[in-house]
């Protein structure tokens, strides 16, 4: 079985935490709203923010829509969950994406696991 990367929203992070889940590599879509050195903030529509733990060669730009593939990890200082970025795809202007469709995709993919993730 090849590696699967379920699409998620910030509220699903806990389900993919390394302590419980068998796989903790996920895909998440959002707008980069802040960058502070080795971390960044990804805003996922009206679904909240996720802290990204960046690689040194990450080339993210504030204000762009990106799809991130990464591993769910604990943040330093017990600040909850974040995503350690493994790769990212830039999709340009967030206004060109209807985030509602993505929310439906996340719902559908988790509801009908036999054709997506299992």
- The residue ranges that bind another protein (CB under 8 A) are 1-7, 27, 29, 65, 67, 87, 89, 91, 96-98, 101-102, 104-105, 108-109, 112, 114-118
Smallest separation, CB 7 to another protein (Å) = 6
Residue with Cβ nearer another protein (41 or 109) = 109
Residue with Cβ nearer another protein (57 or 118) = 118
Smallest separation, CB 38 to another protein (Å) = 22
Rounded Cα gap, residues 77 and 109, in angstroms: 33
Rounded Cα gap, residues 114 and 73, in angstroms: 27
Smallest separation, CB 27 to another protein (Å) = 5
Rounded Cα gap, residues 95 and 3, in angstroms: 31
Residue with Cβ nearer another protein (1 or 36) = 1
- Do 65 and 94 form a contact (C-beta atoms < 8 A)? yes
CA distances from 113 to 8, 47, 75, 105, 118 (A): 13, 22, 29, 12, 6
């Amino acid at each position: 079985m090849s590696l699967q990367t379920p699409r998620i929203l910030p509220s699903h992070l806990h389900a993919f935490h390394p302590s419980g889940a068998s796989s903790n590599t996920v895909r998440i879509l959002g707008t980069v709203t802040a960058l502070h050195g080795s971390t960044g903030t990804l805003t996922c529509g009206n679904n909240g923010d996720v802290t990204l733990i960046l690689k040194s060669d990450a080339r993210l730009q504030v204000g762009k829509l990106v799809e991130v593939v990464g591993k769910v990890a604990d943040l330093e200082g017990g600040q909850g969950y974040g995503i350690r970025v493994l790769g990212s795809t830039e999709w340009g202007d967030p206004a060109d994406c209807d985030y509602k469709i993505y929310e439906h995709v996340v719902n559908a993919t988790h509801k009908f696991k036999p054709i997506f993730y299992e």
